Structure 1
Amino acid sequence: MPSARRLPAALLLAALALSACGSPQNTGQDAQEQHDQDAGAFPVTVQDASGEVTIESPPQRIVSLTPSVTEMLFAIGAGEQVAAVDEYSNHPEKAPTTDLSGFEPSVEAITEYNPDLVVLARDAADAAEQLRKVDVPVLLMPAATTLDQAYGQMRMLGESTGHADRADEVADRVESDVDRIVEETTAELGDTDLSFYHELDAGLYSVTSETFIGQVYDRFGLENIADSAEDAAGGYPQLSAEYVVEQDPDLIFLSYPGDQVVQEVRKRPAFDEIDAVQDGDIVRLDPDISSRWGPRVVDLAESVSAAVTAAAEDQ
């Protein structure tokens, strides 16, 4: 694949070849305009969680320290520009493997990769400030709490990496696919009046509708039992077993690893009184897909759709 520096020359040669066949005048200008459309005109200024960030030229060595961003970068065509990722960025398979931490980023370890763009989580502001002091552009990307925010982040990464057109296409496709899945499911089932409980771990931590995945469930018209908890804990309350049993959800979603987690939930004291347990509507979600706000949200929507359809048949 040609580098960003060689690409304009290649386009210019193509334009000259066309001119010999009777193409319009000013083909060099046309080639430059096409390059600007394909790669994005630089410098570009985007708005991240810290304010305005200007990126002078298309980055060629990106360090991504958040798995959702890593997935977005590869989806929008910037994968070959990714030099390093955090230890939890395991998708796609061709993503580079490192032991960099996204939770406690080491500026020294990051700079060893000679990055010309680093993407960090919002709570890594200190590391971002240190990197900017040594002239490394940094984007602070908060966890998306809505689908629209996720689509917006895809587009911002496209502008920042020279793949604005591709990012628009990906964001549009993801949005269209999610909308289609929701519309087809709700049209087929109508008003099901189903409630659900989403469990993050065996400690009974859950999510409210204010979180990203809570917003996905909300699109399907599901009632979230965690929304009635006394302490929302910033969207991630810890519920009691008694509370879950009392709320009697129609669906239980589990989003953590373990081959036996479904069986273990069934064996909990009094859980056999819950409709979801009696009807077999306990769904184990892929832990990565259900915790990220990248392009695979379409897969999450499909999983929720299948679970909702099955639970509706049990009513």
Structure 2
Amino acid sequence: MSPEMWGAVAAGGAVGGVALAVDGWRRSRRPVLMDRVAPYVGDVARGPVADPGARGLADRLRSVGGALAEAIGSADSVRRRLDRLGSDLAVEAFRVRQLRSAAVGFGVAVAFSLAMLARRPASPLALMVLCAIAALGAAWWCDQDLTRRVERREQAMAQEFPTVADLLALAVAAGESPASAVRRVAGVAHGDLADELRRVMGDVHAGDTIATAFDALAARTGVASVARFAEALAGAVERGTPLVDVLHAQAADVRESARRSLIESGARREVLMMVPVVFAILPVTVIFAFYPGVIGLQLTTGS
């Protein structure tokens, strides 16, 4: 490493140390209201009172996570995707996870940069830009991983919906109310859609009406068929409309949509299937067809 690089690292460390010392001195001179009240309410608090230093570190992590949120994506988008995923993870906890991913990416980039500097001189500015890009890329990958998990879950819910709708239709046709049918199906079914139904029943047990719980399901889900199903159930509960035919029709529509999607996917992949045929199978076939003739002509010409 060049002397200029060592000087830059030392200057950065010194500036960071002075900033941390000043921040700690300022916090110790002017404690916040929570720090002054915490020693007197520790015996009546629901849990152990957090250490001020640890809380200060958590506040710093949240502030850094908020800045990262503005660069990667909005908090509303993350909150909606977490809600669609059915996760109890808070937005702040997800931002801390993104921050950890960014730290790992930054550490890997720093190690790579040091290895490059050990082998040959390189531009410190370019290596710093590389480290920043690696950190942002790791945080972006964490955000994209959340999106992929939401998409996989919603695809699974769309595949499970016809079976769940038929089960609900059978339960309602047997004489049960929509709420009882949902409770029965949620108790015996497995999968992501069954988890959503159990969440709906949990909201009902918490005091919400079943129509309100299904309206909330329709608002938070990203699957159109499940949203229509939730709206139909909410309307059936509120107005007493017949539900069996509606559920059977929705299940048939979802199966028909899945069949169309499969046919369209096969049509799109038909062109891709020609790639190995044209570039692998066809050349081998041509070689097998013409190579014996070429060898025969060479033997005839040689003789």
Q: TM-score range by the shorter chain?
A: under 0.3
Higher share of residues assigned helix:
2
Higher share of residues assigned strand:
1
